[in-house]
Structures are given as structure tokens and as C-alpha cells.
Amino acid sequence: MAEDNRMNLGELKIANEVVGIIAGLAATEVEGVAGMSGGIAGGIAEMLGRKNLSKGVKVEVNEHETLVDLFVIVNYGVSIPEVAKNIQENVKKAIEIMTGLDVTEVNIHVLGVHFPQPQIETEEISPVQVK
């Protein structure tokens, strides 16, 4: 933020978790992102739902600027560099608009690829007629 966070009646302080939630939501809005990842546990990336938007996000908020690390899982078949660029742009824009903080870095860590589940086709079973 170019101006000081001091207001006439006091200071404005934004918690790291608030910035983390904004970043997580902005990241999951990007097409190609399957979800956020809480990290590698036992070699398997744990995908988190929308209830844990600040998980998979690490933020460092200074007085007027912030640095963000996002840990994501992408959908199979997408261009990872393109998705990462879109995440960076969307997260930067959302944080700057909502908080007034300058975003100095948005680092993307791709921890996994989400493969679509194959749909199992079921045969139609004709009803059994009782005689």
C-alpha cells in the first residue's frame, strides 16, 4: 500500500490468516486448480476442501507488503506454467484490492496432479418377472 496504514482513529492490522484465506480462495477460482494441498504426508499430497482455504497457503505480511506461497494440486492435462501464471495474477489482484497491501511475490508449488475418476458404466438390468 502506497499510503500509511494509520487512520485518523488508529491503525489497521490485517492478520496473516485473512490474507491466506483471500489467497486460497483466489487460487481455487483459477481454472485448472483441483485444490489446495496441506503438504506431503506419507508421500501423498493431501487435498483440502473449501473449508480449509488458508491451508496450503503460507503468507508473510509486513507493514505494507506481503509474500505468498501457495501449495496446489492441478488437474491432469492442463498447462502447469499457464495455470501458475493465472494463479499468480488472480491472487495478487485479489490481495491488493481487498487489503491494500503490495504483493511482492506469489510463489506456486505444485504438489500433485488430480486425475479424473473413470466413470463406471452400468448395464441396465431388466426387471425380473415373477410367474
What is the residue-wise DSSP string for 24-53? HHHHHTSTTEEEEEEEEETTEEEEE-GGGT
pLDDT at 43: 40
Specify the pLDDT at position 99: 95
Per-residue pLDDT of the chain (131 residues; tens, 9 = 90+): 445 555 578 888 899 999 999 999 999 999 999 988 876 554 444 555 445 667 789 999 988 899 999 999 999 999 999 999 999 999 999 999 999 999 999 999 999 999 988 777 666 666 666 66
Structural domain boundaries in the chain:
6-114
Per-residue pLDDT at 6: 54
The C-alpha atoms of residue 61 and residue 20 are separated, in whole angstroms, by 10
Strand partners, 11: 6
pTM as predicted: 0.76
Q: What is the pLDDT of residue 123?
A: 62
Task: For CA atoms 98, 100, 87, 48, give the dihedral sign.
Answer: negative
- The CATH H-level superfamily of 6-114 is Cation efflux protein, cytoplasmic domain (3.30.70.1350)
